[in-house]
Structure 1
Amino acid sequence: MSSNKGKGILYQDDDDEPIQLPDQADEDLIKEYNLSLIGKILNPKKQNVERLIVAMLEQWGMSEKISACDLGNGRFLFNFDNEEDLNSVFDQSPFHNYCMYVLVRWEPIIDENYPSLCLCTEQNLQAIGDRMGQLDKIDTTDEKIKVAMDSFKPLKFTRKLQTRNKEDISIKLFYEKLFKHCSTCGLMTHEAQDCLAKPTHVLTLVAPRENVFDRVR
């Protein structure tokens, strides 16, 4: 992150309009994740994703056969080499490790509650980075971007995206090595106890919407 003095960097992200994604679902990524299970913990106060992944691989006896990763927001991925191993795990449902968790087969669907891995293309990551600041580096493998940002503007931790098919989704942004900042307004110039902005709390009653993780097995 850098100050906007001296370098003439153009920052475009002055509004909350959805970021338009230029790429559709990538066929190669769909094929890559075709043998994957997506999981979600149900009790985040008692469950740790990294420890859960290690424990499950040992419990299934597949530490050398399955690759796994933490997707953030309590979600994780198990990637298999063959259909037989995937089904042998999936047939052990329902799943728990002291607390219950959900496993579903990955599908190329677009949904806010579901990791749209097939949209993680270089062009889409570039579109996100260009809206946030001056894009420096793209890592499609780990789904990371390196961006020079205006350090006097609030950090944004969620962003709206819109696919080429006009489907709206939200993503959460995680900043590596982020230290103290204001959790109320997002500025790095002070902390929450010194913030002059008053948070607004609006109670909205919304009927629950079923998502893919509601299909407990």
Structure 2
Amino acid sequence: MSAAMDRALMALSLEEEEEEVPFTMPELPGFSSAEENALSLIGRTLNPECQKMSVLILTMPRKWQKEGRVRGVALSEEKFQFIFKTEHDLLDVLEKGVQTFNEWAIVLERWVENPPDDYLQYIPLWVQISKIPVNYYTHSVLMSLGEMLGEVKVVAFDPSKPIAQPFIRVQVRFNVANPLKMARVLNMGGGKTHIIHFDYEQLQKRCFTCKRLNHEKTICPWEVKKRQDAASSRREKIIAEKSRVITVLKPTDPLFGVLDEEQVGINPMTGRPKIANEVLEEMRRFLIADTGEALTVKIDKVKKSVAEAEKDPIVQKTILRLETIPIITTDLNKGKGHVFDYGQKEAERCNWDLNVNPNKLMAASMKANRNMSSFKAIMSDSKGYSEESESDFRGTLSDLPTVFRAGSTEPCSSGTVRKRGPIRRRPPRAQRQRNMLALMADNSVQEEERRDGKQEVGSRKRKKINQDAVAVVTNKAQCLKVIPHEGSPSSQ
């Protein structure tokens, strides 16, 4: 805080207030806009909540079809001014009668330098008076009927011409603070009455309760008071009902004096009876029945039994209220239908997770080693051990019910088991390859002998190939043979 502010606060006096001298407006030509305001209209909105000023300033020139020839000025949230360029346009707007914006009426009057007290309080309003008595179609009567609404300015009536409409039009200077009168009762004399009706031209919205032009029905003072009176009456009724004590145990009831009113009746927290009616009836029968016991003993038994039951919520629920005990289940998803639960899969993953169980890998490897050792021992006792046999053994292991495999499955007590087809009895793959190589070597020898002319067709039989001979397969390129009369082969 600055030093100047401190000095100002210290010099501030709360006891005496300084009187401000009013500012005197200088009377100079540049300070007054009276000449420009001479061709202007001053107006105000009757329902500012439904009539936005910024929209009104832009909308009314278009509605009057005088865009570019009139300029609007928002004076406040309710008052505005329209400045015209010509006198003709200003008078044309005034002759249109009452003006409306957003379906609510607005007040328009020509600008005056010193406005009177009732300025912007009246609007020119045309009224249609209907259901006039047949003997009262005169200028005096029509003017008197119009005076009920306001100061009569014009009466549109010609008795020498036919009247095609069932009403007479009268223009009045209507005070916007007054409600609109829709009908009026006339005393015709001799105890007779007659009702005439009023209809207002160019008025769109009004309050349908009090018939005023400055608010809607929802915020009408009469409607607000009506709602307040209804709310107060409901409040008083509720208070009276709460103050009235409703006793469950009557003086003629056998349980009167045995149980308190707080022990019976409706529980305000749950809305259910504290003690079921069947239990109360049984208590009454017990007290009335002649069992050879004294009444005081019976009363003491009833009091003790009810007091003990109220101590335990379960006993109170099942014995006093005759309600069933709720079922407690450990299935958290009960009643939800099909629930996709990944809890079991997460547990299986944790069993194989080294961070959770670091000894699992070693135990699994040792178990696999024991299984493989037993397998090799079994295979060594048979014809022999080979990779094909090991693959067959793995294939046999894959038939277990806990191993995933493609193909048809069928359910059983221990899981899903694959339908096993017929067993193919064929030699191992290595033995088949050796037989195939030996056969190919024999065919090549016979072909070479046939080409050299050393073998006679049908002279001897094919010798049996020793199955124990093993042909060695190598990837080394064979030497090219020389073809007679064609020279040496060129390197490719």
Same fold? TM cut 0.5: no
TM-score range for the pair, normalised by the shorter chain length: 0.3 to 0.5
Identify the structure with the greater strand proportion: 1
- TM-score under structure 1 length normalisation: 0.45
Identify the structure with the greater helix proportion: 2
- TM-score under structure 2 length normalisation: 0.21
User: Larger radius of gyration, structure 1 or 2?
Assistant: 2
Higher relative contact order (CA 8 A, sep 6+): 1
